[in-house]
Structure 1
Amino acid sequence: MSDAAGVLARALREAPPDMLVEAADRTVRVLLDARGAEVLLADYRSTGLWPVRQPAGPDDDTPVDAAHRCYGAQREVLAHGDDDSCLLYLPLTAWGERLGVLVVDFATAPSPEVVRRAQELAGDLATALRAADRDTDRYRRTRRRERLSMAAEMQWDLLPGRSAAHEAYRLAGQLEPAYTVGGDHFDWAINGDDLCVTVLNGDGTGLGASLLTSVAVNAMRNARRSGGGLVEQAELASDTIYSQYRGRRHVATLLLELDVRTGRLGAVDAGSPRAVLVRGTSVRPLRLEQQLPLGMFAETRYEVQELLLQPGDRLFVVSDGVYSAEPGGREPYGRRAMARAMRAACLQPATEAVGTVIRELHAYHDRVDLRDDAVVVCLDWFGGGGRGGSPETSRSTGDGGRSTGGAGGGRTN
């Protein structure tokens, strides 16, 4: 760590959680001879970037095209002014989660060494912002452009994040409608070489659906954090939901667990969320045997199906509010339009691809509000040294079954 990064790290540790941006501003003025700094945070829809220190109104436009380029490409952008001044835009990203952009104002163009030091500062600031979010409302107030419903407040608090990165994969997800989402949700956890991803569709609407989904997510986390695999997670969640609702409510769920070294993917398909494989120009749903939704009956037992991903494969998981959407009596979005959107996003990283599918879904509704909750999760697996293979499923009686597959290549992203 450079001396500059060490000074900022110390300043961030000593600052109150709601004053991190001010601490960063003071530090860049002293260490980088800058005129100041601002932080722009992505809103809940990931469609705008908004300043923390000078909050904009809900209808204000943020004149920061360079900031959007920086956020989308995840690389620094220099914007020169007429008087030789320069704004340096740096991505604020912690463990693969894109938070926003750090803007540093210089009187003259910074040297490559100053840019490098600023990049280190941005990394420390992003990590601090992510940690501080638990202890202050300031950054969440910046992110929201309208009031969240109570159900949406619970759903956003329950999320693990909106993106994650690893040398073997990239992962991103989005909830819509962002400010009123009810029962749809996604969850993930990174534990060594295992990546668990879950997409849920809680029965009903509004606060009741959000409460139901919260019970399911926390039950699955309880099983997972106790060392349980997919079967234990599904069965504990199902038993917990049934004990509370006696079969009157249920949660449709798709549970996935990826071995990031080999591409071996375990799946428990317990309801309506669907997985779609993108391999090269091919877009097709995965063939999974659907089992009962969680909580429908007492002591329901589940089985894992397994498949192999090839290096370069992309996996979308979408809720029924995406593939079954029929606005104005049109054919379901999932019949043809969804595949077109996924192909259009083939060269985009996962973080941008989820936005493309969601934007096309909104366009399919002629820009009116979605009638149902919608979740899109995108997973890109680059390969981790294991053998690739055909993504065909096999049955097993628990988490320990195995399937076989040959080597194969795929799309790189």
Structure 2
Amino acid sequence: MPHKVTKPTIRPDAQKVALIVDDSRAQRLIFAKHLQGWGYRTHEAGSGLHALEACSTQHFDLILSDWMMPEMDGLEFCRAFRAMQGDRYSYFILLTSKNDKTAVAEGLDVGADDFLPKPVSPVELRARITAGERLLAMEREVRAALEELQNLYDALDRDLMEARRLQQSLIRKRQHNFEGNTLSLLLQSSGHVGGDMVGTFIISTARIGVYAIDVSGHGVAAAMLGARVAGLFSGGEHHQNIVLIRDPGTGKPRAGAPHEVAARINDLMLEEFDTETYLTVVYADIDLRTGRLRLVQAGHPHPVIQRADGRIEYIGEGGLPIGLIPNASFATIEAQLMPGDRLLLYSDGITECTNQHAEEFGEEGLKTALAKLAHLKGVEFVDALKWELLHWSGKDEFEDDVSGALFEFNHAMQAPNAPPRYYRGVPVET
């Protein structure tokens, strides 16, 4: 259901309230008679100090103040009143026998809206008050519009907070265990929601798929497209996963090679997704029995392997982003993971993060961080990497979405005696 936004109640016909400030009781009575005849409810104060006390407990639409008064004159009262004034505006008229330009400038400087020379003409007083009423009416309209905008903003902010929770819920858990081998996920949006997504799914009894997606742009549109593409790797219904391809030769379903998967997503982006947005992706097919790694890099930053002995290897050649060129070709890259090695897929929010000197973290910065944090494992590592990046930036929040997927190959998995994956009753070749 849509949010119901309550508009503020504005009563232009409500009786206006005026404060008359003058050390002469006779003058106060004269002004009160005029103002009451013009529809005002009036209050009186014999000095600036008494007027300030009244203003501290009640709002006045109009303040009519003499300049020359004992204890606190009208100028000092106006200055003190403007300093304590709340959100609602009061129209302030100073009454003075001074007519030099310096006095007028001084009064305007402390916050007076208008001046009337003494003795005051009732006709001129009425005209000046009418001008002030027009200003107050506009102020009420602006305040009402701002209040309505604030209500709309609050409703939008609640929607975005809910969208953030929903996006985070797409990562059901941050760490996955595959017979002692672990995958740890990091997702930190620069705003409420972002276009980065990371995740995993089971291909077969001994193979997993890991993906990292970065949609161009930020905000809700990028988040929706990122979630839609991540849904193509759904682990819920195996036959709905975009990785599954029916072999044209045998007619049997099989897990497509990474470059085939990238090509299928590219075709979907251009043919079925009504968007001009593009995205980058890394999709990795990992054999848990052998450590064999096959992946496609489509415009995403270079995946990095940290060997058990600490060596750092960046792999891949870049590749084209998804959604730019029809019939784009992609390449499957192969690498071998040994026990103790780990693979990190990450978004450019890490390498392109800048510090206060506009220097990028870069691949060298990531390499240094990997070495520094080599003793940490799993979620502890990806969280420490995030804090390392924040420390580098010198900021409290990231300017771009930050995401990553860390796979740690601890040992070769023994193939279990489990049934193969099925597609509509047919075993999937793996």
TM-score by length of 1: 0.54
| Aligned pair partner of 1:184 in 196, 200, 203 | 196
Q: Is the 8 A contact 1:274 1:285 kept in 2?
A: no
Structure 2 residue 328 is matched with structure 1 residue 296: no
Name 2:186's counterpart in structure 1. Answer: 174
Name 1:233's counterpart in structure 2. Answer: 261
Q: Offset at 1:258?
A: 0.6
Name 1:410's counterpart in structure 2. Answer: none
Taking the TM superposition and a 5 Å limit, the aligned residue runs for 1:87-166 are: 149=161, 152-166=164-178
Q: Offset at 1:382?
A: 1.3
Question: Per-residue displacement from partner, 1:5-26 (whole Å, max 9, x unpaired)?
Answer: xxxxxxxxxxxxxxxxxxxxxx
Q: Offset at 1:249?
A: 1.4
After superposing on structure 2, the runs of 4+ consecutive aligned residues of structure 1 that deviate more than 6 Å are none
Q: Is the 8 A contact 2:304 2:315 kept in 1?
A: no
Residue identity in the other structure for 1:213? G
Unaligned ranges ≥5, structure 2: 1-157, 235-240, 246-253, 415-428
| Aligned pair partner of 2:301 in 247, 256, 273 | 273
Distance in 1 separating the partners of 2:162 and 2:272: 21
| Aligned pair partner of 2:232 in 209, 219, 227 | 219
Question: Per-residue displacement from partner, 1:234-268 (whole Å, max 9, x unpaired)?
Answer: 22221111124567211100110110110100010
Q: Is the 8 A contact 1:174 1:354 kept in 2?
A: yes
| Aligned pair partner of 1:353 in 381, 398, 404 | 381
Q: Is the 8 A contact 1:281 1:343 kept in 2?
A: no
| Aligned pair partner of 1:208 in 211, 214, 221 | 221
The structure-2 alpha-carbon separation of the partners of 1:148 and 1:162, relative to structure 1 and needing over 3 Å to count, comes to farther
SS at match of 1:274: coil
Q: Offset at 1:214?
A: 2.0
Taking the TM superposition and a 5 Å limit, the aligned residue runs for 1:10-409 are: 149=161, 152-177=164-189, 180-190=192-202, 191-221=204-234, 222-224=241-243, 227-229=254-256, 230-244=258-272, 248-280=276-308, 282-384=310-412
The number of residue pairs the alignment matches comes to: 242
Distance in 2 separating the partners of 1:154 and 1:200: 17
Residue identity in the other structure for 2:210? V
CA RMSD of aligned residues (A): 2.6
The structure-2 alpha-carbon separation of the partners of 1:220 and 1:309, relative to structure 1 and needing over 3 Å to count, comes to same
Distance in 1 separating the partners of 2:348 and 2:266: 20
Percentage of pairs with the same residue: 24
Q: Is the 8 A contact 1:149 1:179 kept in 2?
A: no
Q: Is the 8 A contact 1:251 1:294 kept in 2?
A: yes
Task: Name which one, 1 or 2, has greater alpha-carbon Rg.
Answer: 2
SS at match of 2:243: helix
The structure-2 alpha-carbon separation of the partners of 1:318 and 1:333, relative to structure 1 and needing over 3 Å to count, comes to same
Distance in 2 separating the partners of 1:370 and 1:326: 9
Name 2:107's counterpart in structure 1. Answer: none
Name 1:132's counterpart in structure 2. Answer: none
Distance in 2 separating the partners of 1:294 and 1:154: 25
SS at match of 2:303: strand
Distance in 2 separating the partners of 1:380 and 1:200: 20
Distance in 2 separating the partners of 1:246 and 1:208: 12
Distance in 1 separating the partners of 2:311 and 2:159: 37
Name 2:81's counterpart in structure 1. Answer: none
SS at match of 1:375: strand
TM-score by length of 2: 0.52
